[in-house]
């Protein structure tokens, strides 16, 4: 894989290999061991291990992992350049980032004791390495790494998480999986294969630069097929999204499934509809966090607060966060505004209305829940955390009063109408995924949505393009702009909603004016008919919003000051308001027409008589809409009656009018009573449901309290167990140190083997006897070349393991050095045999002395044999060292019967005499004459003489010569 990064217009060489960020807690050692045992030594990748290590507990991670792999392992130091086939480990108590392939160390930043070192590094890795970044989350407690993998996915990197079932602590893996942004969930030993397969796929290994992005006609056709499948299954058209972004995410899915090309992927999409939703979610990946780019929010405060300070009590504060993703940005803006309102000294603070929208329904549901993991403590200050959040289990929930200020809704910028009269429109990191043509359509919509002096807040890589004259730039770095009035940009609003059908044809404009086929005379004739001979009519939806107006409406409606809302219930004159509302309700319920004959309406000093009719429309495309038609009967005239001569004519007309009004009022009252009865029944049903829900919530609350108490008790037990483990770990560390010093300082070479004769560990002295290095741990001893002249060492070890009987041998090396070889079974604390222990004790000096002593004994024996008399050589304990031939012949003894035997026992037991006791025990012996009957020999007489051969420094006799001179008896 190759990558080049541009910086200030100049190219700089980028890292040409993937960098793997691996996060885990101290309990993930076994996972790292399994991973590297299955990872090839020459993979072409670099590995950076981020672990939660405390300064107070020094753990040599490199030494622990070094026996597992032959890759170079080192603790990272500040400024080291990452190299392939190397493993780098974060030092304890540090935060580590990466820039231009160099690891940079900083003191750990902490909020309320939290140290999110994994999130910190993965975010830095994603920014530095883009699609070359790979994030892997192993076993660990907490939620560290959750934000980091979001950033890696945003940059098209790869995310792998350890299967929680294989993890010692499943909190970190489970938290990452809940983001729905994980590519693979695997056991540690299965990760290397998937990692190599994915990174070596042509679509990933040879990415195309965005500046050089082109597609041939065939792939373009395949891309259209994929977009068609997406539109058919999701209802969303991605035609106006950047082709490079779409293609890269599609190629990621091709590499993920190890497919060959677009054709295979299209077939896979058709055979697996679930993959279409996965691709849809992949295209909608929106990564955000609380106060992302903290300096940008500080700049926004300085520009937004002065505008909000000019607000009157009756003016609402309206804010729209477009592309809110999982809601972090919406809540960040809400916190800023609430902090401002806390400083406002008004009797009634302005109403805060925040609209947060996104195309992804899953993200909207997450945002509504307002539930976030514990790692947000690295993004939010402790003051804001206490002010706006509630601690729940292992995470945080936004307080209810903040949640109620925000309305979350699914919204499509391309199709759905915008929110208007906004004081702030926040749309960060959304436009970068859209084509320039679509951006030219959306920016005027944003301009139209903003109120006078409203602010537009974009991402650092976004701009308003050619509409710079429509906005005043307040902060160039963080893209904070203010709306300008009196610009021509609003003319483009005529194209909304945007159509994408002709976007692929470069030779045609997107919106062409449709020329009328009718003649000017016909158009003028129709215009005259509509304006002069058709009644005033309004086209409404079910809520009463006015969609179309025909004719003059001043007689029936009036526009009031305040918020501009085109709704018949708000605009109808007071005399018509109730009647219109009632008629609309009846027409919608009955799906039929409702007619109101006559109602008096005042217009200035005149009173007019009007009527209206409401029709429910069923014709396409206006189905389910309402058409209200007004009839103006002119001013009310005084009526003259001629029915009775004694009745005042004016009074007679008034009575008739009152009777009509009474009949109409009765009708309205009857209709109102029916509506009230219906509403009452609905309220009763709703009340019962609420009561049932309340009881369920109370039950749930009691269960939650019980669970909380159990969790507190369990937490205390875990803390106690953790303390015990820490003490045991310290004891084990001390014992390990003692054992290491003991083995290193003794001159006894020791090798520990398992039952398969694989080397587990060895002492430094062994390197003089075997050609071993630290990397040979785990290899069989049969594969190691030894310096011994003993070819049957393997058989001897196996015999000891099988028979459980130790063996001791004397062996020599090729340099004529002698060692005492001792092989013993390796017994565990549970008395199980788990291999063998082979020790080597150097005995070269002892062996030399033994050879020398043997030579001296042979010399002494030869010299004694020259004597014609029987003679013995005794040691200081009067044991027989040498007996000459004359002695053995004379007393009919064999050499093995008396050598190393005490002479006193021979004299007492065999010869049955005590006559030599004084001679053998005396310090100054005198010759003794012995005449004794020997069994089997007869009577023998001889003189016994003892001479000292050698003495020690104190004069004690060491070796003596005992001579038996025979005298024949008569």
pLDDT at 321: 93
pLDDT at 496: 56
Pick from 74, 100, 101: which is nearest to 88 by CA?
74
Mean pLDDT calculated for residue range 323-348: 86
Cα Dmax for the chain: 205
Distance from C-alpha of 495 to C-alpha of 832, rounded to nearest angstrom: 82
Q: Which residues of 911-920 are buried (b: 16+ CB within 10 A; e: fewer)?
A: beeeebeebb
- Whole-structure pTM value: 0.48
Q: Are 131 and 245 in contact (CB under 8 A)?
A: no
Q: pLDDT band at residue 502, thresholds of 50, 70 and 90?
A: very low
Q: How many CA atoms lie within 13 A of 280 on its CB side?
A: 21
Task: Please give the DSSP secondary-structure letter assigned to residue 908.
Answer: I
Considering only residues 229 and 967, tell me which one the structure prediction assigns the higher pLDDT: 229
**Neighbouring-strand partners of residue 879:** 902
Distance from C-alpha of 144 to C-alpha of 394, rounded to nearest angstrom: 12
Q: What phi and psi, each to the nearest 5 degrees, are found at residue 584? A: -60, -40
pLDDT at 88: 93
User: Where is average pLDDT lowest: 352-361, 611-620, 782-791?
Assistant: 782-791
Distance from C-alpha of 891 to C-alpha of 32, rounded to nearest angstrom: 78
pLDDT at 614: 93
Q: pLDDT band at residue 497, thresholds of 50, 70 and 90?
A: low
Question: Is residue 618 scored above 60 in pLDDT?
Answer: yes
Question: Is residue 82 scored above 60 in pLDDT?
Answer: yes
pLDDT at 498: 56
Distance from C-alpha of 836 to C-alpha of 760, rounded to nearest angstrom: 10
> Would you call 99 exposed, middle or buried from its count of C-beta atoms within 10 A (0-12, 13-18, 19+)?
exposed
The residues near 138 (Cβ < 8 Å, ≥ 6 apart) are 22, 23, 24, 28, 31, 32, 35, 162, 167, 172, 173, 188
pLDDT at 643: 45
Distance from C-alpha of 24 to C-alpha of 181, rounded to nearest angstrom: 18
Q: What phi and psi, each to the nearest 5 degrees, are found at residue 298? A: -65, -40
Distance from C-alpha of 111 to C-alpha of 381, rounded to nearest angstrom: 7
Q: Are 50 and 90 in contact (CB under 8 A)?
A: yes
Question: Is residue 829 scored above 90 in pLDDT?
Answer: no
Tell me which residue has tokens 């025909």: 550
**Neighbouring-strand partners of residue 749:** 840
Structure-block tokens of residue 212: 């050089």
Question: Is residue 510 scored above 60 in pLDDT?
Answer: no
Distance from C-alpha of 380 to C-alpha of 267, rounded to nearest angstrom: 46
The SS3 assignment for 675 reads helix
Distance from C-alpha of 825 to C-alpha of 694, rounded to nearest angstrom: 69
Task: Please give the DSSP secondary-structure letter assigned to residue 911.
Answer: I
Which ranges in 239-381 belong to alpha helices (H)? 243-256, 262-271, 273-283, 294-309, 328-341, 361-369
CA distances to 69, 147, 607, 664, 803 from 760, in Å: 14, 40, 106, 101, 21
The residues near 402 (Cβ < 8 Å, ≥ 6 apart) are 331, 334, 335, 338, 370, 388
Mean pLDDT calculated for residue range 733-760: 82
What integer best gives the mean pLDDT of the chain?
Answer: 80
CA angle 12, 17, 18 (to 5 degrees): 115
Q: Could you tell me what percent of the chain has a pLDDT over 90?
A: 11
Task: Please give the DSSP secondary-structure letter assigned to residue 111.
Answer: B
Mean pLDDT calculated for residue range 535-545: 87
Question: Is residue 358 scored above 60 in pLDDT?
Answer: yes
pLDDT at 134: 93
Distance from C-alpha of 791 to C-alpha of 784, rounded to nearest angstrom: 12
**Would you state the torsion angle of the CA atoms of residues 238, 242, 243, 249, taken in this order, to the nearest 10 degrees?**
-80
The residues near 566 (Cβ < 8 Å, ≥ 6 apart) are 545, 546
Distance from C-alpha of 88 to C-alpha of 75, rounded to nearest angstrom: 6
- Chain segment 883-917, per-residue pLDDT in tens: 888 888 777 788 777 887 887 877 777 777 777 77
User: Where is average pLDDT lowest: 466-475, 684-693, 698-707, 782-791?
Assistant: 782-791
Considering only residues 970 and 239, tell me which one the structure prediction assigns the higher pLDDT: 239
Q: Are 313 and 346 in contact (CB under 8 A)?
A: yes
- Chain segment 641-692, per-residue pLDDT in tens: 444 445 555 566 667 667 777 777 777 777 777 778 777 878 887 888 888 7
3-state helix, strand, coil in the chain (%, to 5): 40, 25, 35
Question: Is residue 2 scored above 50 in pLDDT?
Answer: no
Q: Are 148 and 121 in contact (CB under 8 A)?
A: yes
Task: Please give the DSSP secondary-structure letter assigned to residue 614.
Answer: E
Distance from C-alpha of 435 to C-alpha of 156, rounded to nearest angstrom: 19
User: Where is average pLDDT lowest: 30-39, 56-65, 197-206, 805-814?
Assistant: 56-65
Interhelix angle 217-234/262-271, nearest 10 degrees = 20
Structure-block tokens of residue 758: 């694989």
Q: pLDDT band at residue 341, thresholds of 50, 70 and 90?
A: confident
pLDDT at 495: 56
Mean pLDDT calculated for residue range 599-625: 84
Q: pLDDT band at residue 511, thresholds of 50, 70 and 90?
A: very low
Mean pLDDT calculated for residue range 284-293: 78
Distance from C-alpha of 885 to C-alpha of 844, rounded to nearest angstrom: 34
Q: Could you tell me what percent of the chain has a pLDDT over 70?
A: 87
- Chain segment 143-185, per-residue pLDDT in tens: 888 888 888 888 888 999 999 999 888 888 998 898 888 889 9
pLDDT at 846: 81
- Structural element, H or E, at residue 97: strand 94-99
Question: Is residue 507 scored above 50 in pLDDT?
Answer: no
Question: Is residue 110 scored above 80 in pLDDT?
Answer: no
The residues near 576 (Cβ < 8 Å, ≥ 6 apart) are 556, 599, 601, 610, 612
pLDDT at 213: 53
Distance from C-alpha of 421 to C-alpha of 454, rounded to nearest angstrom: 8
Mean pLDDT calculated for residue range 73-95: 89
CA distances to 212, 328, 438 from 430, in Å: 22, 15, 12
pLDDT at 769: 80
The residues near 882 (Cβ < 8 Å, ≥ 6 apart) are 857, 860, 861, 864, 872, 873, 899
Q: pLDDT band at residue 342, thresholds of 50, 70 and 90?
A: confident
The residues near 288 (Cβ < 8 Å, ≥ 6 apart) are 324, 325, 326, 328, 329, 428, 429
Mean pLDDT calculated for residue range 747-772: 84
Distance from C-alpha of 838 to C-alpha of 664, rounded to nearest angstrom: 112
Distance from C-alpha of 125 to C-alpha of 427, rounded to nearest angstrom: 25
**Neighbouring-strand partners of residue 81:** 102
pLDDT at 171: 86
- Chain segment 409-430, per-residue pLDDT in tens: 888 887 788 888 899 999 988 8
């Amino acid at each position: 894989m190759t990558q080049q990064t541009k910086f200030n217009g100049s190219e700089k060489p980028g890292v040409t290999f993937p960098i793997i960020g691996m996060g885990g807690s101290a309990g993930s050692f076994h996972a790292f061991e399994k991973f590297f045992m299955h990872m090839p030594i020459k993979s072409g990748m670099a590995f950076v291990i981020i672990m939660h290590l405390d300064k107070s507990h020094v753990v040599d991670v490199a030494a622990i992992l070094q026996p597992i792999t032959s890759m170079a392992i080192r603790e990272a130091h500040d400024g080291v350049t990452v190299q392939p086939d190397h493993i780098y480990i974060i030092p304890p108590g540090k935060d580590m980032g990466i820039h231009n392939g160099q690891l940079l160390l900083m003191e750990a930043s902490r909020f309320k004791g939290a140290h999110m070192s994994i999130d910190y590094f993965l975010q830095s890795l994603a920014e530095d390495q883009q699609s070359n970044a790979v994030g892997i989350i192993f076993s660990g407690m907490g939620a560290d790494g959750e934000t980091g993998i979001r950033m890696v996915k945003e940059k098209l990197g790869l995310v792998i998480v350890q299967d929680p079932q294989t993890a010692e602590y499943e909190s970190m893996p489970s938290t990452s999986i809940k983001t729905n942004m994980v590519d693979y969930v695997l056991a540690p030993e299965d990760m290397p294969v998937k990692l190599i397969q994915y990174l070596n796929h042509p679509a990933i290994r040879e990415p195309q630069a965005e500046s050089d992005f082109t597609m041939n006609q065939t792939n373009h056709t395949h891309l259209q097929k994929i977009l068609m499948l997406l539109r058919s299954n999701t209802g969303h058209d991605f035609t106006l999204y950047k082709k490079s972004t779409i293609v890269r995410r599609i190629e990621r899915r091709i590499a993920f499934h190890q497919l060959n090309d677009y054709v295979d992927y299209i077939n896979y999409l058709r055979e697996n509809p679930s993959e279409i939703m996965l691709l849809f979610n992949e295209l909608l990946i929106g990564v955000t966090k609380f106060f992302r780019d903290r300096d940008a929010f500080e700049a926004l405060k300085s520009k937004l607060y002065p505008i909000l300070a000019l607000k009157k009590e009756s003016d609402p504060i309206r804010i729209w966060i477009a592309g809110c993703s999982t809601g972090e940005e919406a809540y960040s803006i809400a916190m800023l505004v609430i902090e401002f309102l806390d400083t406002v000294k008004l009797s009634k603070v302005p109403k805060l209305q925040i609209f947060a929208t996104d195309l992804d329904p899953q993200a909207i549901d997450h945002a509504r829940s307002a539930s976030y993991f514990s790692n947000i403590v690295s993004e939010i200050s402790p003051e804001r955390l206490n002010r706006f959040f509630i601690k729940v289990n292992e995470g945080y929930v936004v307080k209810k009063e903040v949640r109620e200020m925000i309305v979350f809704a699914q919204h499509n910028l391309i199709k759905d109408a915008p929110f208007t009269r906004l004081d702030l429109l926040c749309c960060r990191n959304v436009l970068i995924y859209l084509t320039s043509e679509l951006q030219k359509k959306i920016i005027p919509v944003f301009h139209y949505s903003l109120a006078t002096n409203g602010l537009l807040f974009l991402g650092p890589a976004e701009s308003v393009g050619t509409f710079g004259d429509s906005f005043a730039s307040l902060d160039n770095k963080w893209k904070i702009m203010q709306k300008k009035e009196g610009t021509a940009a609003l003319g483009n609003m005529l194209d909304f909603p945007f159509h994408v059908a002709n976007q692929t044809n470069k030779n045609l404009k997107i919106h062409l004016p449709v020329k009328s086929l009718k003649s000017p005379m016909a158009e003028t004739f129709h215009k005259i008919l509509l304006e002069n001979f058709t009644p005033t009519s309004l086209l409404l939806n079910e809520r009463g919003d006015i969609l179309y107006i025909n004719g003059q409406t001043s007689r029936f409606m009036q526009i009031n000051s305040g918020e501009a809302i085109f709704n018949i219930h708000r605009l109808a004159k007071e005399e018509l308001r109730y009647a219109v509302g009632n008629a609309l309700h009846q027409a919608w319920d009955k799906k039929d027409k409702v007619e109101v004959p006559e109602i008096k309406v005042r217009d200035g000093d005149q009173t007019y008589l009007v009527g209206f009719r409401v029709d429910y429309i069923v014709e396409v495309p206006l189905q389910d809409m309402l058409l209200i038609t007004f009839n103006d009967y002119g001013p009310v005239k005084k009526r003259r009656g001629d029915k009775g001569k004694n009745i005042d004519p004016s009074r007679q007309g008034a009575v008739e009018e009152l009777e009509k009004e009474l009949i109409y009022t009765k009708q309205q009252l009857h209709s109102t009573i029916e509506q009230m009865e219906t509403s009452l029944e609905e309220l009763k049903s709703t009340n019962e449901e609420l009561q049932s829900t309340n009881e369920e919530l109370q039950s749930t609350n009691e269960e939650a309290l019980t669970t909380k108490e159990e969790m507190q008790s369990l937490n205390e037990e875990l803390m106690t167990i953790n303390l015990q483990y820490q003490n045991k770990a310290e004891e084990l560390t001390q014992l390990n140190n003692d054992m290491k010093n003991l083995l290193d300082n003794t001159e006894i070479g020791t090798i520990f083997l398992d039952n398969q004769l694989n080397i587990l560990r060895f002492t430094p002295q062994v390197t003089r006897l075997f050609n071993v290095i630290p990397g040979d741990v785990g290899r069989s001893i049969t594969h190691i070349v030894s310096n011994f002249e003993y070819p049957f060492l393997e058989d001897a070890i196996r015999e000891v393991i099988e028979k459980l009987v130790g063996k001791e041998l004397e062996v020599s090396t090729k340099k004529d050095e002698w060692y005492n070889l001792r092989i013993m079974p390796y017994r565990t604390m549970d008395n199980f045999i788990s291999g063998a222990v082979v020790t080597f004790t150097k005995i070269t000096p002892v062996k030399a002395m033994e050879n020398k002593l043997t030579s001296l004994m042979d010399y002494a024996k030869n010299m004694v044999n020259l004597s014609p008399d029987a003679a013995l050589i005794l040691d200081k304990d009067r044991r027989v060292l040498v007996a000459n031939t004359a002695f053995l012949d004379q007393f009919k003894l064999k050499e093995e019967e008396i050598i190393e035997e005490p002479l006193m026992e021979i004299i007492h037991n065999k010869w049955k005499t005590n006559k030599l006791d004084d001679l053998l025990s005396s310090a100054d012996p005198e010759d003794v004459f012995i005449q004794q009957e020997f069994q089997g020999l007869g009577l023998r007489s001889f003189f016994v003489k003892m001479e000292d051969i050698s003495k020690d420094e104190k004069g004690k006799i060491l070796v003596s010569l005992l001579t038996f001179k025979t005298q024949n008896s008569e």
